[in-house]
A and B are shown apart, each in its own frame.
Chain A
Amino acid sequence: MMKFIKATKMKLLVLILLIVFLFGCTGVDVSNQNVSNNSYSLLKVHFLDVGQADSILIQFPNGETALIDGGNREDGRFVVEYIEKMGISRINYIIATHPHEDHIGGLPEVIKSFDIGKVYMPNKTSNTRIFKNLLEEIKNKGLKIIQAKGGLSIIDTEDLKFTIIAPNSEKYDETNEYSIVNKLIYKNTSFIFTGDAEKDSEEEMIKLGYNLKADVLKVGHHGGRTSTNYEFLKRVNPKFAVISVGKDNDYGHPHKEVLKRLDKMGIKVFRTDELGTIIATSDGYKINFNKEIVKNNDDATKNERDKKIIYIGNKKTKVYHTTTCKSLPKQENRVIFNSKEEAEKAGYRPHKNCIE
């Protein structure tokens, strides 16, 4: 049934395009800008609403497309449908910033669903199933992985440059530090996308003398305090900052310190937890944030993780708590439940102070 609807939609689209093509057209509403976007020489950057995760779709003015990260695993379908809605069938560049699930989670589904050009990844593996899935999908498509390294150029034309400026070392202590950082320049406008890069990588970028100045900064690690350090922020000196973050997440992202650093420099902040998907459009001279609200409908699954998924029961008192409760039982008396229902079924009652 879904397939049938999709097919009809496609036919309709083709028909509309055909009409436009045959009769020429000035008065048509360009709400289907997705399809014809490129004829307007616009750069479009979509920060998708994937909750506590990252996924950024770029439509370059030369007609090519890139996807930086794919959200959590359960965002895969949302990301695929969003890209389809833009009328895109080929993604020229897939950038998997680093192998954490909140960045690569949706990518296997994306790779399966579209015609893919090149895949960029840092030299860092993960033991998770999702990472293995990603490798399997890359293999199934007969693709290879290009090692991302600072200094590598992806697009290099006079008006449009898309480059990799990190990672700059072979080894780091933290997986986040392996994050691919991209700089995008379109005429007089520029963007920096940082994945989850933290202090070590930021310091390297400064030391190596990259031109970090950018109009828009995708804030590192969902606004975590170990990223977006003052020195780095000073070099980027952005007008706008975008934070990709889940509502009421368990980690307190974005951290107050980061918001303060941004605020002190008078940077306008856009957050996906407040605004949903954020779209920045550049004509090469001016960047507009024409925010169209595209809420991820998958809220039910998306929020499941943000809520306390596990509960800790006290075998002695038969009371269960959230994992952050101040009066958790001693280690040896703990029982873990995966839901409230499970706890209730086992005859446990909720602790009044931590469970409403």
Chain B
Amino acid sequence: MYRIGGIFIKGIIDRFEGEYALIELENLKVINILKDNLPQNAKEGDVVVIKDNECYIDIEETQRRKEQIEKIFEDLFEG
């Protein structure tokens, strides 16, 4: 999840509130991170990774999650 002392945060952006992004970590906790700590184009639903000096969006995993969840949703959804 994260290394003591170093940085390794990986999670999904649940939403933005004011100057914060709320990130759902892999251990299901939701934390506040200042938007400034994320790539500028980060948006709701993105899987983000913050690692030492790096910070990026995992585009593939974001897409994978989106497709998987939309599939389950469509099966249950009666429009």
Contacts and interface: CB of A to CB of B under 8 A. Distances in A.
A154 interface: no
A294 interface: no
A135 B47 contact: no
Given A100-B15, A126-B45, A175-B44, A135 B34 contact: no
B56 to A, nearest CB: 14
A146 B24 contact: no
Contacts of B73: 125, 135, 145
Interface of chain A: mostly helix, strand, loop or mixed: mixed
B69 A126 contact: yes
A250 B17 contact: yes
Contacts of A132: 68-69, 72
A145 B31 contact: no
A154 to B, nearest CB: 15
A101 B70 contact: no
Task: Indicate the size class of the contact surface on chain B.
Answer: 35 or more
A346 B4 contact: yes
A252 B15 contact: no
Nearest to B72: A135
A123 interface: yes
Contact of B5 (A101, A127, A346): A346
A345 B14 contact: no
Interface of chain B: mostly helix, strand, loop or mixed: mixed
A323 B79 contact: no
Contacts, number: 110
Contacts of B32: 250, 305, 308-310, 323
Interface stretch (A33-41, A85-93, A265-273, A331-339): A331-339
Nearest to B15: A100
A342 B5 contact: yes
A26 interface: no
Contacts of B72: 132, 135-136, 139
Contacts of A135: 69, 72-73, 76
Given A304-B29, A338-B2, 17 more contacts: A73-B28, A101-B30, A102-B15, A121-B77, A125-B66, A127-B45, A128-B14, A130-B14, A131-B69, A135-B73, A135-B76, A139-B75, A145-B77, A308-B32, A336-B50, A342-B5, A346-B4
8 contacts: A73-B30, A101-B14, A125-B73, A131-B69, A135-B73, A304-B29, A310-B32, A323-B37
